[in-house]
Amino acid sequence: MAEELKLAMVGCGAVSAMHLMGISEKAPQIRVTAAVDPVRERAEGLAAQTGAQPFPTFAEALEKGDFDAVDLMLPHDLHEEFAVSAFEAGKHVLLEKPMATTPAACDRIMAAAARAATVFMVAENAQYWPEVVRAKQLMDEGAIGKVITARAAVNMPLMRDNPFYSGDNPWRFDKKASGGGISLDVGSHWIRPLRMWLGEIDEVVAALDRPAEEMEGESLVRALFRFRSDCYATFDAGMFPDAVVGPDALFRITGTGGEMVIESTAGGRLVLYNADNPRGLKEEPEGYLKSYAPEFEDFALAVLEGRPLAAGPEESIGELRTALAMYRSAESKRWEKVWD
């Protein structure tokens, strides 16, 4: 059994810093041996950090590089092409969410993964968000009784100086490259926890708008989800230009015996309210950024030891289908099924 996983990082933009942080914190088995980016300075910069060999194209990296797995961090419309190429080369694949921008493309990627019989993981780091995982544990222990409803909210300024949205033509503002707007991109990190807690989403009704006009996709969504469990949850997401946005709870989960809140302040801490804790039991925060370390540990152990992933790649299709159902609902102005 191999003790080291040699990894090619493909796409050396803003998210690569988060991935390197996760590797350094909890995945010492991973050694980055290739850095791939058409922008020479980015590939060479990541190579200098890691000791990797830089490459300008993925094709050249596959031909000349030395690696067992790939970490694909690319515009969403490139996911299928690069993932299928990696599988055809026999590589293990860690693919940033969403898997792709259409269910049909997801099906093709899944088929290529099955043919390759290598490890395939979609990097939805919310699956490992410490407060989200802790909330699930407390729910399972009955800390708030039977869950009745939940709310997920992410509202923020446009962040023109944020590396995820900076540059002359940020690809996340391009509807073709991103596949949509805030619902499909940032929203998945809030939709996954709702699915972890309440089960599968059956149908949605949504309204969309574009307060950030430079984004081709929607920068505002207000939605209501009905789950197969007959629970309801609201999903509110907004990216507002030139706005100062006040604090709001990231999540609120209400049950017959109490409530849990994941705050947007105080490090994103989890607070439990129930009969034993009427003023709120405040847990020590770890925060969203601590989700990357267990994500990379999970991938490394799946490849090196054959351990099952916390969530299979097919799980990510639920976030994509939920976003697409919201887009249909905004057009039809009625409830839309997620899986039909």
CA distances from 279 to 235, 249, 260 (A): 26, 16, 12
Across the range 225-240, mean pLDDT stands at 96
pLDDT at 162: 59
Question: How far is it, in rounded angstroms, from Cα 65 to Cα 118?
Answer: 18
Confidence band for 221, pLDDT divided at 50, 70 and 90: very high
Give the predicted TM-score (pTM) of the model. Answer: 0.95
Across the range 227-247, mean pLDDT stands at 91
pLDDT at 228: 97
pLDDT at 219: 95
* Nearest alpha carbon to residue 154 among 56, 242, 239: 239
Residue 168: is its pLDDT beyond 70? Answer: no
Across the range 115-122, mean pLDDT stands at 98
Question: How far is it, in rounded angstroms, from Cα 310 to Cα 299?
Answer: 9
pLDDT at 214: 86
Average pLDDT, the chain: 95
pLDDT at 156: 85
Confidence band for 166, pLDDT divided at 50, 70 and 90: low
Across the range 17-22, mean pLDDT stands at 97
pLDDT at 160: 59
Question: How far is it, in rounded angstroms, from Cα 264 to Cα 105?
Answer: 34
Question: How far is it, in rounded angstroms, from Cα 96 to Cα 80?
Answer: 11
